[in-house]
Amino acid sequence: MPKTEKQCEKIKDKTRQKIIERSILYFSLYWFSGTKISELCKYIGIAPGSIYNYFESKEELYEEIRKIAVSFDLESMKKLVNLPFSAKKKIMILSRYLIKKLKDDQVFAAAMTLSTQELLEQNEERK
């Protein structure tokens, strides 16, 4: 029985999400310059080149995951800013939260790695 358009769209969305999540992990290990699309496809578990059904280029994929990495959990941090605690207490809460999140969530840890890499690259460009 053929799939409905809705089923196909759901499969496509799920595959796109899988590509993004696995790419965050891969780029955090190999950075942009060390990432080959053919190797990334193997890592994700998709057919070589099929990534181009979802993203036009490696640059577009990287830009998408970079946006995610930079904005990861920003809402929680915004809420923390508005709490009626001292700066020291806020830093303690944030530190505990980040340590727990880094231990428990591999994608979050990879996103933080990407954000750090980007900050380091920006710092090097300024020199």
Q: Which residues of the chain have pLDDT under 70?
A: 1, 69-74
* Residue in 39, 9, 25, 2 with CA at minimum distance from that of residue 113: 25
| CA distance linking residue 103 with residue 105, whole number of Å | 6
Q: What pTM was estimated for this model as a whole?
A: 0.69
pLDDT, residue 39, reads 93
